[in-house]
């Protein structure tokens, strides 16, 4: 059947199409020079319109495209339209039955996802959405028409929702599943630790994303969450003990974790390891050799002697080295260097020893060649950095020679070797779940080890617990951005926060939280306290009032209650503490640096050394060019890490914090705390 424009209509319309012919399952619209084939599976709608004289047919196609035929006799147009419509609708009804079956299959998959008793991962969404797209592509009619058919409409809308609003759909689905699961497993969450887990802890434990960052503020129960997570995986039979790896940064932390797991879960098969112990295990399994750890890593005196003697020998034997080191110490560190053979000066050598250790450690951690290190420097620093690296090169060579003579490896070498074995496929990771404590302290080298493990086993879940507010180890290579940009570094996953602290009262929490969040680069999170404080929970006092403060504390502090005195440096330990045992025999007083206090808590905290100057708090920036280049980039905010250090100090306290200031040269932090409403008193 065919419809043609009249001669007059064709002349008047001046349109490229002047006839339409009905095909088996479509129409052909053509003119003298143009031809357009429209199969029914591309046809969205047909409209018949009457102009002033002639008829018009309009064929709607996908992407808002329209093909029109003008100038046909009106009655013939109506007849053709009615006939075409009947055939097209019959074909459409038949194809809608096929489409309904395809859509139903997809909806059944979605229903199974919504009903399954497990977390639906974001990574699984991509697969589901691709399945929906493939199903739409396989339909015998345009998806735009599906809403015209009752038996397709609802299923199509369900598929479309998961396609266009997938993330919201997954979030809602997982939220509902989490609510049901926590309620159904209440007995587990109430008994897995000594006290029942709170709601935010439960939600962190059951989160099933491939990569999870749990932001655990001070005193919020991060260890409880790690223990419960291991217990949950076993309880749900998602892993066997040998498929779970717990990682800690220090031997003591790993031992404490093992004791806690043994006590709460009664499991021997799960063993927390340090990163170095993990690297050692990988090397043993992958090379069938057991590396010996160099005594230089455990004997600080031997380590420093090696470096200082090598430095002295270089300066003694090579004038260029002596001159280069003099310039470095003079210009960059602003040290006063004696005339003549300055390297023989014992006090200077001792002072430099710690620096040499730190610089060598950064070079070993980098692991690359001198050329690779120099290439890492910015254009304006590269030339000077290259000179400094060349001055350090003999020390690095001496270090490697000592390792070779000892037939041993250092800690950085352990991790480099382990990564190399993993990347060559000589060790296949057996761990489906890796749980990491204190994640804010992760360094690029350790992060590389984690990534290499995950590449070995695509089923590996990474569950990390940490607090970017307590990241205080950049000087040893920790990179805060690995936490604050977690998804960018470890793949799309989930971030959740433990919202309740069991340590300090709400006044300490209010001051500490507001103080730390003045840095916009810190991640925002809630941290609520269970106990009430008052204005005197955080107070600024003159530093000379410490004796009077301890006198006052002796009147009400109980013997079992701890008083922690904290300072930025060891040498700032108050002299009065030498008499503490006899002057306040009933007080439980302990002094430590703030760095050493991480993980500690006490009923009362006294922070000393809040003054300006070379040993002030915040500490002035004294980074060598080696540290500027080889350490992770700091965030662009004044005293960012020092601010986190004070946050750590304040949040060690359960009941009260006193900040002892030097009124003659006050710390800038004192003024900032006063602006937050911390009262200043003359006496305790």
- DSSP-derived secondary structure for 533-574: --GGGEEEEEGGGHHHHHHHHHHH--TTSEEEEEESSGGG--
* pLDDT score for 13: 60
- The whole-number average pLDDT for the span 119-133 is 93
Domain 2-89 has CATH 2.30.29.30: yes
Q: What is the pTM of this model?
A: 0.88
Question: Which tens digits make up the pLDDT trace of 377-407?
Answer: 999 999 999 999 999 999 999 999 999 999 9
Average pLDDT over residues 283-296: 93
| Average pLDDT along the chain | 94
| Cβ(256)–Cβ(281) below 8 Å | no
- DSSP strand pairing (26-30 vs 272-274): unpaired
pLDDT at 327: 94
Specify the pLDDT at position 33.
83
- What are 310-353's pLDDT values in tens digits? 999 999 999 999 999 999 999 888 899 999 999 999 999 999 99
- Give me the mean pLDDT over the 199-206 stretch: 98
pLDDT-derived band at 574 (thresholds 50, 70, 90) equals very high
- Tens of pLDDT, residues 30-62: 988 889 999 999 999 999 998 777 888 999 999
- Mean pLDDT for 550-576 is 96
pLDDT per residue as tens digits for the range 347-374: 999 999 999 999 999 999 998 899 999 9
Question: Regarding predicted confidence, which is higher, 1 or 532?
Answer: 532
- Tell me which long-range contacts 138-143 makes (C-beta under 8 A, separation of at least 24): 138/102, 139/98, 139/99, 139/102, 140/41, 140/95, 140/98, 140/99, 141/40, 141/41, 141/92, 141/95, 141/96, 141/99, 142/41, 142/42, 142/43, 142/44, 142/62
Query: Does position 583 have pLDDT exceeding 90, yes or no?
Result: yes
- Torsion over CA of 678, 679, 683 and 684, rounded to 10 degrees? -50
**Residue 11 predicted with pLDDT over 70:** no
- 145 alpha-carbon distance from chain centroid: 44
Residue 328 burial by Cβ neighbours in a 10 Å radius (0-12, 13-18, 19+): buried
Q: How confident is the model at residue 285 (pLDDT cuts 50, 70, 90)?
A: very high
- Asked whether this chain's domains 2-89 and 521-675 adopt the same fold, the reply is no
Local structure of residue 365 (DSSP, 8 states):
H
Q: Which residues of 111-140 are buried (b: 16+ CB within 10 A; e: fewer)?
A: eebeeeeebbbbeebeebeebbeebbeebb
> What are the structural domain ranges in the chain?
2-89, 185-291+414-501, 306-408, 521-675
Q: List the single range of 229-243, 331-345, 499-513 with lowest mean pLDDT.
A: 331-345
**Count of residues making up the chain:** 684
Find out whether 411 and 278 touch, Cβ atoms under 8 Å.
Answer: no
First to last CA, the chain: 103
Question: In sequence order, which residues have a C-beta less than 8 Å from that of residue 148 and are 6 or more positions away?
Answer: 92, 96
Band (pLDDT 50/70/90 cuts) for residue 12 is low
The one-character DSSP state at 409 is B
CATH class of the domain defined by 521-675: alpha beta
Average pLDDT over residues 478-482: 94
185-291+414-501 is classed in which CATH architecture? 3-Layer(aba) Sandwich (3.40)
């Amino acid at each position: 059947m065919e419809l043609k424009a009249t001669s007059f209509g064709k002349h008047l319309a001046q349109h490229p199409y002047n006839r339409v012919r009905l095909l088996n399952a479509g129409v052909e619209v053509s003119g003298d020079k143009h031809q357009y084939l429209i199969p029914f599976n591309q046809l969205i709608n047909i409209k018949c319109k009457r102009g002033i004289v002639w008829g018009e047919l309009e064929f709607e196609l996908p992407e808002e495209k329209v093909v029109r035929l003008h100038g046909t006799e009106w009655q013939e147009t109506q007849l053709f339209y009615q006939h075409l419509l009947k055939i097209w609708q019959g074909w459409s009804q038949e194809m809608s039955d096929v489409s309904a079956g395809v859509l139903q299959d997809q909806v059944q998959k979605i229903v199974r996802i919504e009903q399954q008793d497990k977390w639906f991962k974001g990574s699984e969404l991509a697969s589901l959405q691709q399945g929906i797209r493939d199903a739409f592509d396989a339909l015998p009619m345009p998806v735009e028409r599906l809403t015209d058919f009752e038996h397709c409409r609802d299923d199509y809308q369900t598929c479309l929702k998961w396609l266009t609003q997938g993330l919201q759909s997954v979030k809602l689905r997982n939220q509902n599943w989490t609510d049901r699961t926590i309620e159904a497993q209440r007995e587990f969450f109430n008994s897995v630790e000594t006290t029942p887990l709170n709601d935010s802890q439960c939600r962190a434990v059951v989160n099933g994303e491939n990569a999870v960052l749990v932001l655990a503020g001070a005193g919020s129960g991060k260890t409880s969450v790690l223990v419960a997570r291991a217990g949950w995986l076993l309880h749900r039979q998602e892993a066997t003990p040998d498929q779970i790896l717990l990682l800690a940064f220090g031997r003591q932390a790993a031992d404490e974790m093992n004791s806690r797991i043994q006590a709460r879960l009664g499991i021997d098969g799960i063993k927390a390891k340090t990163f170095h112990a993990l690297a050692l295990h990988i090397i043993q399994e992958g090379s069938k050799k057991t590396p010996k750890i160099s005594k230089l890593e455990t004997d600080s005196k031997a380590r420093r002697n090696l470096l200082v003697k090598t430095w002295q020998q270089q300066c003694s034997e090579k004038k260029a080295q002596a001159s280069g080191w003099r310039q470095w110490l003079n210009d960059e560190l602003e040290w006063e260097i004696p005339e003549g053979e300055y390297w023989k000066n014992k006090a200077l050598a001792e002072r430099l020893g710690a620096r040499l250790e730190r610089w060598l450690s950064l070079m070993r951690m980098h692991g690359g060649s001198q050329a690779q290190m120099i290439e890492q420097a910015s254009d304006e620093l590269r030339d000077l950095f290259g000179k400094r690296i060349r001055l350090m090169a003999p020390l690095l060579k001496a270090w490697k020679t000592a390792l070779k003579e000892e037939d041993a490896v250092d800690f950085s070498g352990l991790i480099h070797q382990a990564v190399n074995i993993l990347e060559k496929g000589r060790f296949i990771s057996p761990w489906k779940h890796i749980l990491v404590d204190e994640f804010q302290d992760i360094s690029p080298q350790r992060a590389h080890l984690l990534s290499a493990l995950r590449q070995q086993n695509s089923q590996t879940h990474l569950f990390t617990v940490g607090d970017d507010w307590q990241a205080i180890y950049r000087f040893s290579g920790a990179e805060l951005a690995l936490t604050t940009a977690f998804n960018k570094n470890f793949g799309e996953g989930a971030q959740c926060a433990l919202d309740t602290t069991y340590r300090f009262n709400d006044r300490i929490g209010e001051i500490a939280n507001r103080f730390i969040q003045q840095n916009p680069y810190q991640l925002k999170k809630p941290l609520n306290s269970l106990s009430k404080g008052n204005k005197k929970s955080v107070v600024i006092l003159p530093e000379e009032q410490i004796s009077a403060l301890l006198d006052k504390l002796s009147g009400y502090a109980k013997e079992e209650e701890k008083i922690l005195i904290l300072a930025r440096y060891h040498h700032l330990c108050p002299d009065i503490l030498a008499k503490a045992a006899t002057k306040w025999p009933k007080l439980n007083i302990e002094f430590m640096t703030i760095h050493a206090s991480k993980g500690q808590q006490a009923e009362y905290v006294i922070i000393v050394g809040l003054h300006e100057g070379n040993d002030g708090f915040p500490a002035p920036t004294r980074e060598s060019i080696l540290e500027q280049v080889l350490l992770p980039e700091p965030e662009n905010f004044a005293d960012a890490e020092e601010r986190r250090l004070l946050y750590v100090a304040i949040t060690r306290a359960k009941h009260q914090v006193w900040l002892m200031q030097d009124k003659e040269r006050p710390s800038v932090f004192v003024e900032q705390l006063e602006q937050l409403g911390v009262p200043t008193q003359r006496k305790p």
